[in-house]
């Protein structure tokens, strides 16, 4: 069934950094060559649609074993008793703040300026605890962690805050029900992997800090068979580990970036209006020209609030 919806004033597209470029391209707005490949009539040539994809990649290689249980076992977290304790007085395992109880922002020698380029996050959950699984672990990653299943420990994640690499979103088909292709292109810029190696070394040093000595903290046994060709604990080894055990933390931005009409890759102007298309704006993380050095939730709220002000101003509301 086909439904037609009309707007009296304008349309605001807010589908996120993956689906916003998909919808734009399906609507005939994007790279003419790519659209023609899928038989989509070109309404507006904007080759930047779907390009400039940036994301935060995280490495959870710094896993440590300890001599006692101090984290949150999954069976305890999911128990009826924990639920009753939380409902009754707001305490217990369900009061756990999540997989990053503490975070820090640091600068490596590869930073371009005084801004931090690495985030480290501490998690007290036992190793290979399902409660710590962010949902992005591949089966290969889970298989690597199996030898550590149930071990007491903690992990310190390393996040690349300011990637120099960028990827892209493309269509697989003109069918709107077919998912787009996502190519994040992590580590295509050599400095990104170098930065992550330095960040991982910082995370490892934290794991051996004096505060953890009473727990006999030790780096978890080597669980990266794909990296055995490199000498253990060298930069080459850590670089391989970062690539094997790296994953997204769901912060994609930039695929409909904001910029002037003179920028051939810009998709929206400073008013968030799509270049060359009347009464169409984009209001989500896709408009960010550069990835922020932190979580994207607050910036997305800000974009929404700013878009609201811009719309009201345009229509004298």
Residues in the chain: 317
Long-range contacts of 237-242 (CB under 8 A, 24+ apart): 238/61, 238/197, 238/200, 238/201, 239/193, 239/196, 239/197, 241/59, 241/61, 241/200, 242/59, 242/61, 242/158, 242/187, 242/193, 242/196, 242/197, 242/200
Query: What distance, in Å, lies between the first and last C-alpha atoms of the chain?
Result: 35
CB 252 within 8 A of CB 54: yes
- Partners of 105 in the beta sheet? 119
CB 248 within 8 A of CB 160: no
Q: Which of 38, 56, 189, 251 is flagged as catalytic?
A: 251
251 belongs to the catalytic site: yes
| Number of H-type helices and E-type strands within the chain | 8, 12
* Catalytic residue numbers, as ranges: 251
């Amino acid at each position: 069934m086909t439904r037609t919806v009309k707007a009296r004033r304008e349309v605001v597209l807010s589908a996120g950094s993956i689906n916003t470029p998909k919808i734009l391209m399906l609507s005939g707005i994007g790279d003419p060559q790519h659209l023609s490949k899928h038989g989509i009539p070109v309404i507006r040539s904007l080759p930047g649609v779907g390009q400039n994809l940036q994301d935060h990649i995280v490495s959870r290689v710094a896993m440590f074993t300890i001599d006692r249980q101090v984290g949150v076992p999954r069976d305890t977290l999911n128990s009826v008793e924990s639920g009753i304790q939380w409902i009754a007085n707001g305490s217990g395992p369900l009061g756990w703040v999540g997989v990053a109880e503490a975070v820090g922002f640091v600068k490596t020698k590869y930073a371009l300026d005084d801004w931090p380029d690495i985030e480290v996050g501490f998690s007290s959950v036992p190793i290979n605890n399902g409660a710590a699984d962010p949902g992005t672990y591949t089966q290969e990653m889970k298989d690597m962690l199996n030898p550590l299943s149930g071990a007491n420990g903690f992990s310190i994640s390393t996040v690349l805050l300011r990637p120099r690499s960028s990827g892209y979103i493309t269509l697989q088909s003109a069918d709107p029900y077919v998912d787009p292709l996502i190519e994040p292109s992590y580590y295509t810029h050599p400095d990104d992997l170098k930065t992550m190696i330095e960040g991982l070394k910082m995370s490892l040093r934290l794991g051996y800090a004096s505060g953890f000595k009473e727990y006999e903290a030790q780096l978890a046994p080597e669980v990266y068979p794909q990296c055995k060709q490199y000498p253990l604990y060298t930069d080459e080894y850590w670089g391989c580990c970062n690539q094997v055990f790296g994953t997204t933390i769901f912060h994609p931005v930039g695929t409909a970036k904001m910029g002037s009409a003179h920028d051939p890759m810009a998709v929206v102007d400073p008013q968030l209006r799509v270049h060359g298309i009347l009464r169409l704006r984009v209001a989500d993380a896709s408009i960010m020209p550069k990835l922020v050095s932190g979580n994207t939730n607050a910036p997305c709220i800000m974009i929404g609030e700013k878009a609201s002000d811009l719309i009201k101003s345009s229509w004298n509301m």
